[in-house]
Structures are given as C-alpha cells and as structure tokens.
Copies of this chain bind each other. A is one copy, B any other.
Amino acid sequence: MTLPESKDFSHLYSDETNARKPSPLKTCIHLFQDPNIIFLGGGLPLSDYFPWDNVSIDSPAPPFTKGIGHPISELSNDEVCKVDLKKDVKVHEGDIPLARSLQYGFSQGQPELLEFIREHNKLIHDMQYEDWDVVATAGNTNAWESTLRVFCNRGDVILAEAHSFSSCLAAAQAQGITTFPVPIDDKGIIPAKLEAILDNWTPGAPKPKLLYTIPTGQNPTGTSLADERKPEIFRIAQKHDFLIIEDAPYYFLQMDKYERDLQKRAVTRAQPRESHKDFLASLDKTFLSVDTDGRVIRLDSFSKVLAPGSRLGWITGSKKILKPFVSLHEMTIQAPAGFIQSVVSSTLHRWGQSGYLDWLQGLRHEYTLKRDCAIDALHKYIPENKAFVINPPIAGMFFTVNIDASTHPEFKTKYDSDPKKVEHALYEKVISRGVLVVPGDWFITEGDTVPPQPAASKERENPNEIFFRGTYAAVSPEKLTEGLKRLGETLHEEFNV
C-alpha cells in the first residue's frame, strides 16, 4: 500500500515549517552531479585539502563468541574485524570514501549508511505501507527537539507518559509547548484513560498534536508498553488526529525475563543463543508496525547500541512526513558528522545484517546479566516490606524502587505528610551514604497551563508513593551491588525496618 497524497499531516506543521523556504542554492545542487556542467555554484572545498586518509579501525567480529565487551587486544585475528577506510576508494561494499563523507551534501545521510538502516528496519518492523524512508540524525535528543520544531508552535500541547525523560520534557517546555501527562501502569500507557482524556478534552482548547512515548524500556519507569495496547493507542491517535512519536533508544535492550529463583534461572540462562528468527520474534511489536496512516515517527539511535558519542541515529516515517525534517537539517546540523557515518557504515557492512543481530543479541545478554545483578541486590538489601516495591524491568537501562512515603516514621512530624519532602530527604541521605539514584519527581510530566481536564487523568493509585530510578548500565557488577547495598542500608535506617 502507498499512502494517499493527503496523508502528509501538513495541517499539523508548525508556523516555522510552513515558513521554511528551501535555500535557493538547493534548487541547483542536482547539477553538481551533471557531467556536462562545470559547477561553480557552491562553496565546496576540494577534497584534496582534507587532511586524512588511510583510516584503520578494529572492532570485534561477529558472532562475538567471547561477548561484545571482550577487550579487542585479547581477541585472536579471526575474532577482529579490521575496517580500512580510504579517502577516494571503497575498500569494501558499504564504505563511504572520506572524500564524500567529509564533503558537504547528502543532508538525508550517506546512501550506504541509509541502505544498511533500511534493510535493518525491514527485519524489525512489519511496515503496512511502502513509501516509508529514513533520515540520519545526530541522535534522539536532537531528533526529538527537531520534531517539536517541525510540528509545534508556542502554546501547542503534546502528550507524554505521566513520568517521562526530563530532558525531552524540558525541550518542550523551553519552546513554550505544554506537555499533558497520560496515565501509565506497569504495562505503559493505559489506552482507556488516554481515550477518556481526549474524549473529554476541554472544547476550544488546543488539542494535542503529538504523543511522545518511549514504548520499550521507558525512561524513567523501566516498563514496556504491552504489545496489545499499541493498536488501541494508534486507533485513538487516528480518532483524535495526533502523531505518535516513538522514541526507541532502548529498543534493543530488551532482556530475558527476570527470574528470582536461581535454579530456574540457571536453566534458562544455560540455553544456547537463540536463532536470529527467534530473537526477532521475541522483540516488542513497534508502533511503526501498526501504522496504516504514516502518523508514526520513530526515533532510533546508535547511542545505546554502539556508542553515545557517535551522535548518530535515524528517523523512520513516511517519505512525506520526513521532508520537513530534511529541510530543518539543512539549516541546522546539515547532516551527522561524516567521519562517524563512514565508520558506522563500514563497520556494519562488514558485520552484515546477520552480524549486527549477533551484536544486538550480545547486548541483550550483557544487559540481562546486569539487570539480574541489580535486582538480586535489591531483593537482598531493600527491606522486605509492602511499603517497598522492586520493579524488575524487561527492557532499557533503568529500574525503579517505589516507596510508600507515609510509612516513614517521621512522615507527619518531620515531613508535614508531604511525600515529596521525604523523597528529597532520602535523595540527600542516599548521596551522603555514597550512592546516587534519581528521585522520580524529576520525571513528572506536568501540564500546568492546559485548561483543566477530567480529574481522572491525573489520579494516582497511592498519592504517597514516591520512587527512585537507578541504572544498572553504567557501572560494574561489583559497584552495582555495593551501591544498592548502601541504598538498602539507608532505607532500613530511615524507615526503621
């Protein structure tokens, strides 16, 4: 199926997007490739003056049998993938010669890189329409900020999970955009509540243009949106005509389920690595896969799967909806840095699609071990008590510990029955004991300036519940265990349990 012309969602564009005229210089850039034209049009330096050539880089080689984190110096020659990059020639299929990647041009991203990403996408998504494409980005932080620029004006409203990634919320706030919270439970956004909010939206108030969601390994809650809820949410997006922005940095950090019983766990973990087919089948269904309108924009990133400093990711969506992103890029980043496009393209093409899946499975293995380590430690050190709830995540980098603040002995006397005061005091106390976890309060999605909506939308199960977000990603297992021990000791002391 090809999307009808009308599905460009241009009625949701920002004033800025509507006013953005293509640079006249872009109208002649196609002549740059015309062999009959001597192109004196653009300020392109000769690649002769680019000072770099003969790049060589080592990476581990698929199938990464010693694990993806094994030091390269300890691998045998067969286990190392040598990337050679030249200025003017392709050494290997998929290479982007430096003379091209380091030149101006290709705002959408270099063709070889995009080609790999498109093939990868086909393995992951069950696309319902044909005219989709990808645009290379400088990572999801930038891609999200650009999404706001493309669609939203000052005073517009967007939707986001009731707790969401603070930096993304702050970007909207700075632009004068109001974020309205959508209730979530341990399976993510609750469709019925989302629908009720929109069905009862204050007449005349600006309706939300976007739903910002992190469906897999949500930040900060560590939960994943249940697959069966996705078509429901998509239907609501159709009914109320908003776009779904699927922010997916943690998508490939989906883990095996946490198993507390060590004997049972040993059985599962001892299984041989599953086939690519089983691995792919095990992954969350994506919003892109249920999108029949071209109203889903998915943000992917290499930050969590290769390296954050790559500042490289991609947007997937309908060809129509990607156009204003490319126009914006032409005036901002132009394109992701050429060097990293060359390095990533060369590495991935040498690994191949299959080798890249090996890498992603290796990542899953590592994160499963680290998650297990964290949750084991939490179970060991956090008070065994209904007031403390440990949430073992199945994806992402984060776990949360929920606490009923009203069980603090000084809840009324010292903290005026204010759970936020308990949360803040605990945060400080925990730091003084030598571990940092982040208060849930930092992630609250607030929609202060929106006209009042049905009270149901902001209800909480227990108003005295607070939580802390921690990560098992950033430190070694030993440090992780020691850190959670310190957290547990502080809670024991504070809550007298």
Chain A residues in the interface with B (C-beta under 8 A): 15-17, 19-21, 23-25, 28, 31, 36-60, 68-69, 71-73, 87, 98, 101-104, 138-139, 141-142, 145, 154, 166-167, 170-171, 173-176, 219, 303-304, 306-312, 330-341, 343, 347, 359, 363, 366, 397-398, 431, 434-438, 442, 470-476, 479-480, 482-484, 486
Contacts and interface: CB of A to CB of B under 8 A. Distances in A.
25 contacts: A21-B170, A28-B436, A38-B482, A40-B475, A43-B471, A49-B69, A49-B307, A49-B363, A51-B59, A52-B58, A53-B72, A54-B56, A56-B57, A101-B309, A102-B309, A103-B309, A138-B337, A141-B332, A142-B334, A145-B331, A309-B339, A310-B339, A311-B335, A311-B337, A336-B337
Given A19-B174, A176-B19, A435-B37, A167 B330 contact: yes
Given A53-B58, A340-B337, A304 B43 contact: yes
A397 B45 CA distance: 8
A335 B340 CA distance: 14
A48 B174 CA distance: 35
Contacts of A47: 307
Given A16-B176, A40-B475, A102 B308 contact: yes
Given A42-B474, A43-B304, 14 more contacts: A19-B174, A38-B436, A39-B436, A40-B475, A43-B471, A44-B308, A44-B471, A50-B307, A54-B57, A55-B55, A55-B56, A103-B308, A142-B333, A311-B338
Given A51-B60, A486-B38, A43 B398 contact: yes
Contacts of A332: 141-142, 145, 332
A315 to B, nearest CB: 15
Nearest to A171: B331
A437 B40 contact: yes
A360 to B, nearest CB: 11
A224 to B, nearest CB: 16
Contact of A50 (B306, B338, B484): B306
Give the dominant DSSP class at A's interface. Answer: mixed
B438 A166 contact: no
Nearest to A362: B49
Given A42-B474, A69-B46, A28 B438 contact: yes
Contacts of A19: 173-174, 176
Contacts of A336: 311, 337
A482 to B, nearest CB: 6
A174 B21 contact: yes
A309 to B, nearest CB: 3
